[in-house]
A and B are shown apart, each in its own frame.
Chain A
Amino acid sequence: DQQVKQNSPSLSVQEGRISILNCDYTNSMFDYFLWYKKYPAEGPTFLISISSIKDKNEDGRFTVFLNKSAKHLSLHIVPSQPGDSAVYFCAASGTGGGNKLTFGTGTQLKVEL
């Protein structure tokens, strides 16, 4: 059972425009959500997070929005840059011990010149 879903395996955006990456979850016990960015042959790096008590968190060009009623979150990147091209993973935590993260399957973002 895939508790965290990223239904778009890929996204192509022009440089300077907005990139919107989406993520849905099914487990209502999740209370913390994170986005990670991953380049090929490297480990994922943390990008931004949001607690379930908030609906928006912003850090520079990156903003994460959380809609708890819809069990949906999104990552906005504005403006998009070629260096943003990577795989983006949505992750959630809050169930069980050990601060485990449950990851989505990832979205490959390509920012074109």
Chain B
Amino acid sequence: SQTIHQWPATLVQPVGSPLSLECTVEGTSNPNLYWYRQAAGRGLQLLFYSIGIDQISSEVPQNLSASRPQDRQFILSSKKLLLSDSGFYLCAWSVRGHGANVLTFGAGSRLTVL
């Protein structure tokens, strides 16, 4: 069966510090990968999605970047965190291909920027 792992689960970082959140998927190949963010009191906002290694699309301009160094690994990074980067970050995967399908989410990473 497929599993998705995301870490760290909780992170408290000062403004201006770097960030690295990691996500890996097991039990599948060539998945689509996604990073979403849930800010306080708001819905889920798509930040990045990837349909393959080094194929990453950014949905909104922001202080963050994403990388996919391996097929089943997706990394969310920042060189200098802002207060507004605080939120609950969710990695997700889906079967690659056209047509609609279900996204499966990880447990999330809570980031607090102070």
Q: Distance (Å) between the CB of B21 and the closest chain A CB?
A: 13
Q: Quick one: CB contact mask for A80-106 with B, threshold 8 Å, 1 for yes?
A: 000000000101011001111111111
0/1 per residue, A21-64, Cβ < 8 Å to B? 00000000001101010000111111001010000000000000
Chain A residue contacts of B43, Cβ below 8 A: 6, 89, 103-106
Q: Say whether A42 contacts B107, CB under 8 Å.
A: yes
Asked if residues B102 and A103 are in contact (CB atoms below 8 Å), the reply is no
User: Whole-angstrom distance between the alpha carbons of A45 and B103 in the complex?
Assistant: 9
Instruction: Judge whether A43 and B106 touch: CB under 8 Å.
Output: yes
Whether A89 lies near B100 (C-beta < 8 A) is no
* Total number of A residues with any Cβ neighbor in B under 8 Å: 27
Question: When the two chains form their complex, are residues B34 and A44 in contact, meaning their CB atoms are under 8 A apart?
Answer: no
Knowing A41-B110, A43-B90 touch, does A89 contact B101 (C-beta < 8 A)?
Answer: no
Contact partner of A94 (CB less than 8 A), chosen from B32, B46, B100, is B100
A interface residues, Cβ below 8 angstroms from B: 6, 31-32, 34, 36, 41-46, 49, 51, 89, 91, 93-94, 97-106
A-B contact pairs, 17 of them (CB 8 A): A6-B43, A32-B100, A36-B105, A41-B88, A43-B107, A43-B108, A44-B44, A46-B103, A94-B100, A98-B51, A99-B94, A99-B97, A99-B99, A100-B46, A103-B44, A104-B43, A106-B43
